[in-house]
Amino acid sequence: MRVQKKTVVLDVRHLRTEFGTQERPLVAVDDVSFQVAEGEILGLVGESGSGKSITLRSILGIIRPRGRVAGEILWNGQDLVPLDEARLRRIRGREIAMIFQEPMSSLNPLLTVGLQISENLVAHTDLDARARKARAIELLDLVGIPAARSRLDDFPHEFSGGMRQRVMIAIALASNPKLLLADEPTTALDVTIQDQILRLIQSLSRDLGMAVILVTHDMGVVAETCDRVAVMYGGRLCEIGTTTEVIADARHPYSLGLLRSIPRDVAPRTPLYSIPGAPPALNALPPGCAFSARCPVAGGDCADVRPRLQGAGALRQVACHHLQDALAHFGPREAAQ
Amino acid sequence: MTMPMPMQAGPIPLLSLCALSMRFEKRRSLSDTLARRPQQVVSAVNDVDLDVMPGETLGIVGESGCGKSTLARLIAGLHRPTAGDILFEGKSVVGLKGARRRAYNRRVQMMFQDPYTSLNPRMTVRDTLREAITVHRMRDGAAIDRRVDELLDLVRLPEGAADKYPHEFSGGQRQRIGIARALSLEPTCLVADELVSALDVSIQAQVVNLLIELQDELGLTVLFVAHDLRLVRHVSHRVAVIYLGAIVEIGPSEALFSKPMHPYSKGLLAAAPSLDPSARRRAPALVGELPSPLAIPPGCPFHVRCPHATERCRREKPALRPVGAGMTACHFAETIGDA
Ligand SMILES: Nc1ncnc2c1ncn2[C@@H]1O[C@H](COP(=O)(O)OP(=O)(O)OP(=O)(O)O)[C@@H](O)[C@H]1O
Ligand SMILES: Nc1ncnc2c1ncn2[C@@H]1O[C@H](COP(=O)(O)OP(=O)(O)OP(=O)(O)O)[C@@H](O)[C@H]1O
Ligand code: SF4
Ligand SMILES: [Mg+2]
Ligand SMILES: [Mg+2]
């Protein structure tokens, strides 16, 4: 597998991020470990509130209001968790860049687009004014903004939603980051623009070796774009593996249910599978498996004993006590494909 | 050329849109006025003809800003069209007033995407439903509470839900409260604008199942506006593809999704991410962006982005005409569709 030979640039070990008081913590990310290699795109999927954004923010050291981060975040071997703000700032925006979930609110409405890109170049490169302007044009061009030169003096409101999102990407890419954290970069966009942006991210990753963590809740986006995918539930990883493995042959009951509830290969207007119940609140997570309350194959032990991620095949790990039952429960249709 | 024959013996449409158009005048800024720039006009819906049959689900898809919500709001009577007519059971409903307006508003219910903003946070579910029922005098006395219980049962909300407030529910449950409120008025037609778009996939399935079930049970007509093409394909009997405020293709859902005839429909469907990692896309499906509705291109509105456009397309606007199982507005639909 191509992915395996590349150097691991990010190695997250036992990440735990909590809010609230020490006595009654709200654990948003719980014992999460994964790696991302150079040139690799890792998808991070899961329901709303499962901890995807907080995972990315923890890597970047921007958990506000004050959350507590524990574990190790090894960036090219250096642990980011104990770093102070000044040293983090040198890495943030330069080596590691992030595209935030709400693009509209992260552009300054009072500054021209050119100036906002330029600001980022001042902060993270040694380019002079002329070179910055050239680079800004190059970046807008790269993200597919037509007539880039003439649009530097435009304000954000003069751009469409899709174009603003691309400007955000241009800003994130200004410093040639080695790792891009993309939080739902296309969720608010049309499939046509989404298609263009995902292609761009893919080609940057392939051509420049940029590692990417792509947060999404759209399995189609994962299938089209990611090399590997990690599935989160209730702040924990429940399954991680290659995209093909997870999408074609998921093993965790949550991943299986999630994939089953997407209409594909079902007769029109017949009932879709739906995972019973609703996602748990952070303060009501059981000590055992976070999914146990909604799991169709949960046994007596599930709510009390935490399942650990375990190998299921060479490149995949799953955290579930009842893998066989899960396959049997969801099996028939999966097998029919 | 054969024109589609006027409906003879067939079923009578529940809803007919006739050359329906909606233009919004953009407010002029002071500098525009001083420079004597002409008033800008957004053409959100352009000359739409459409019949909706009783009991059918019509899906409506298209890129952001193409006019889906405007069309939905016109049907629900929230905008007054700038041109054209809307017939409901054969009678014009544009400009209805008083009791007849209220009667129409009751029978055609709009459901909104965001259940937070459309539910009053300080009212329990019971109060919300009671209010809807009493305002429209659907029931009185003890029958009101019986109806509330019936409705909650209908949308599969747990017992005890009636006395809770909106914030105590999950997104999917709140969406179901919205549906219960719409159903409390015993409508004939539901207009669902991005009803489930904000919900997680697993919750979407619950709401969509409910919608299909209720429709079959109550014989409702549904207009289903959504950007999730997979979902639209699943729930719709027919689908209309909108581009710059006009229908470019309409046809039976399965036919349209398995073999789109208009180049725009083809591009739109191809851009949607496939769930099969081994079938990753090669060439970009559609280039460029939706032109501004302030300046709709002449001829075929799609010609600026169309890979097949010819001189004729730049000059002559293609009419929506029967092609294959449905209708398509493209001069070359037959050759392109079969390619
Ligand atoms: N500052 C905070 N204080 C307390 N809880 C928080 C805080 N920020 C986030 N959370 C909680 O942490 C959990 C994970 O949030 P996160 O934003 O990572 O979810 P997500 O997976 O990105 O969801 P979505 O898909 O909706 O963006 C949520 O339950 C959220 O309410
Ligand atoms: N009240 C209004 N005043 C002025 N312009 C409007 C108004 N409502 C809609 N428009 C414009 O009409 C066009 C169509 O908008 P509409 O909301 O119908 O699109 P849509 O297809 O629903 O898009 P989306 O998928 O983003 O919801 C847009 O250009 C929009 O800016
Ligand atoms: S009419 Fe011409 S421009 Fe329009 S869609 Fe057909 S080929 Fe393309
Ligand atoms: Mg998030
Ligand atoms: Mg809309």
The per-residue pLDDT for range B118-159, each reduced to its tens digit, is: 788 899 999 999 999 998 888 888 999 999 998 998 888 877
pLDDT in tens, A34-47: 999 999 999 999 98
Give the residue ranges of DSSP H helices in chain A. 2-5, 52-60, 85-91, 103-106, 113-124, 129-142, 148-151, 161-173, 191-208, 219-225, 243-248, 253-260, 323-336
pLDDT in tens, B263-298: 999 999 999 898 888 877 667 778 777 888 888 999
CB-based pocket (< 6 A), ligand 3: B 262-263, 300, 302-303, 306, 308-309, 313, 318, 330-332
Token pair listed for B316 = 């002559």
For A70, residues 6+ apart whose C-beta sits below 8 A from its C-beta are A14, A15, A16, A17, A81
The atom of ligand 1 lying closest to the CA of A54 is 18
For B174, residues 6+ apart whose C-beta sits below 8 A from its C-beta are B115, B116, B119, B166
Average pLDDT over residues B77-105: 94
What are the DSSP calls for B14-41, one per residue?
SEEEEEEEEEEEPPPPHHHHHTTPPPPE
pLDDT of residue B237: 97
Pairing of the two strands B326-328 and B321-323: antiparallel
Average pLDDT over residues B13-21: 97
Pairing of the two strands B41-52 and B91-92: unpaired
pLDDT band at A334 (very low <50, low <70, confident <90, very high): very low
Domain B15-29+39-236 sits in CATH at 3.40.50.300
Tell me the backbone φ, ψ of residue B41, rounded to 5 degrees: -125, 125
Polymer length of chain A: 337
Q: Which of B63, B209, B285 sits opposite A274 (nearest CB)?
A: B209
User: A222 exposed, middle or buried (CB, 10 Å; 0-12, 13-18, 19+)?
Assistant: buried
Tell whether ligand 2 has an atom less than 6 A from the beta carbon of residue B72. no
The atom of ligand 1 lying closest to the CA of A66 is 1
d(CA B154, CA B241): 32
pLDDT in tens, A71-108: 999 999 999 999 998 999 889 888 999 998 776 667 89
CB contact under 8 A, A263 and B233: yes
Token pair listed for A106 = 């992260």
Map out the domains of chain B as residue ranges. Answer: 15-29+39-236, 258-273+285-339
d(CA A113, CA A160): 13
pLDDT band at B3 (very low <50, low <70, confident <90, very high): very low
In this predicted structure, the answer to whether residue B94 has a pLDDT above a threshold of 60 is yes
Instruction: List the one residue out of A32, A52, A36, A34 whose CA is nearest residue A44.
Output: A52
| Chain A neighbors of B197, CB-CB under 8 A | none
Closest ligand (CA of B66): 2
Measuring CA to CA, how many Å separate A142 from each of A148, A208, B44?
9, 13, 31
Q: Which of B229, B276, B284 sits opposite A196 (nearest CB)?
A: B284
Pocket test for ligand 1, best of A47, A50, A102, A232 (most atoms within 8 A of CB): A50
The atom of ligand 2 lying closest to the CA of B292 is 29
Q: Give how far B35 is from chain A: nearest CA, Å.
A: 19
d(CA B77, CA B75): 5
Q: Give how far B130 is from chain A: nearest CA, Å.
A: 27
Ligand 3 center from residue B307 Cα (angstroms): 8
Token pair listed for A56 = 């990315």
- Amino acid residing at B264: Y
pLDDT of residue A111: 92
CB contact under 8 A, B275 and A274: no
Q: Which residues pair with A239 in a beta bridge?
A: A231, A318
CB contact under 8 A, A263 and B268: no
Instruction: List the one residue out of B20, B60, B88 whose CA is nearest residue B239.
Output: B60
Give the residue ranges of DSSP H helices in B119-170. 125-135, 142-154
| Percentage above 70 pLDDT, chain B | 94
- Interface confidence (ipTM) of the complex: 0.86
pLDDT of residue B58: 98
Residue linked to tokens 């968790």? A81
d(CA B97, CA B103): 10
pLDDT band at B198 (very low <50, low <70, confident <90, very high): confident
In this predicted structure, the answer to whether residue A308 has a pLDDT above a threshold of 90 is yes
State pTM to two decimals: 0.90
Tell whether ligand 2 has an atom less than 6 A from the beta carbon of residue B69. yes
- Kind and range of the H or E element at B177? helix B171-184
The CATH number of A8-95+218-264+272-336, from 3.40.50.620, 3.60.10.10, 3.40.50.10300, 3.40.50.300, is: 3.40.50.300
User: B173 exposed, middle or buried (CB, 10 Å; 0-12, 13-18, 19+)?
Assistant: buried
For B211, residues 6+ apart whose C-beta sits below 8 A from its C-beta are B179, B190, B192, B195, B222, B224, B235
Token pair listed for B3 = 């024109």
Q: Which of residues 222-241 of A touch B (CB under 8 A)?
A: 223-225
